[in-house]
Amino acid sequence: MRKIAFFLFAGAVGFTVDMGVLWMFLDSGLLGPFSARVLAIGSAMLSTYGINRTFTFGASHRKVAVEGARYGSVGIASALLNYAVYSASLLSLPGISPYLALILGSGSATVFSYLGYSRFVFGAKR
């Protein structure tokens, strides 16, 4: 239960960063909703790594570079799922807010990323 609580905390931090970066680029007019979301997801991933490594799962038995590569691969797969749902929502539901699409995308990736991080990245020591 502790792992899930910290994972949700890390997710809340990541979600806040994601939403903030998306809002910053959309509000300033610097980027559109598709390109801004790429940067927002990347920022969110970086913000959650330390929390997940330190509090949620603990360091794995792997070298930091290997652990980071595994974290990145799960993160990228999760981000692709997240971005696909976000983009599909924007394209198929005319007039939907990019922020609501972000919620749908993030929600869809939550279970996938938890399972990937807990099993593939920070899994049991061997």
Tens-place pLDDT, residues 14-72:
999 999 999 999 999 999 999 999 999 999 988 988 888 888 887 778 888 888 888 88
Count of domains in the chain? 1
Q: Bigger pLDDT: 114 or 25?
A: 25
For residue 12, is it within any domain? yes
For residue 73, is it within any domain? yes
pLDDT of residue 124: 52
For residue 126, is it within any domain? no
**Using CA of residue 99, residue 79, residue 46, residue 28, what is the dihedral sign?**
negative
pLDDT of residue 123: 76
For residue 47, is it within any domain? yes
For residue 107, is it within any domain? yes
Query: CA angle at residue 58 from 82 to 43, to 5 degrees?
Result: 35
For residue 77, is it within any domain? yes
Residue 29 parent element (H or E): none
For residue 105, is it within any domain? yes
pLDDT of residue 101: 97
Q: Average pLDDT over the chain, rounded to whole?
A: 90
For residue 59, is it within any domain? yes
Domain span at 77:
2-121
Nearest to 125 by CA among 58, 71, 73: 58
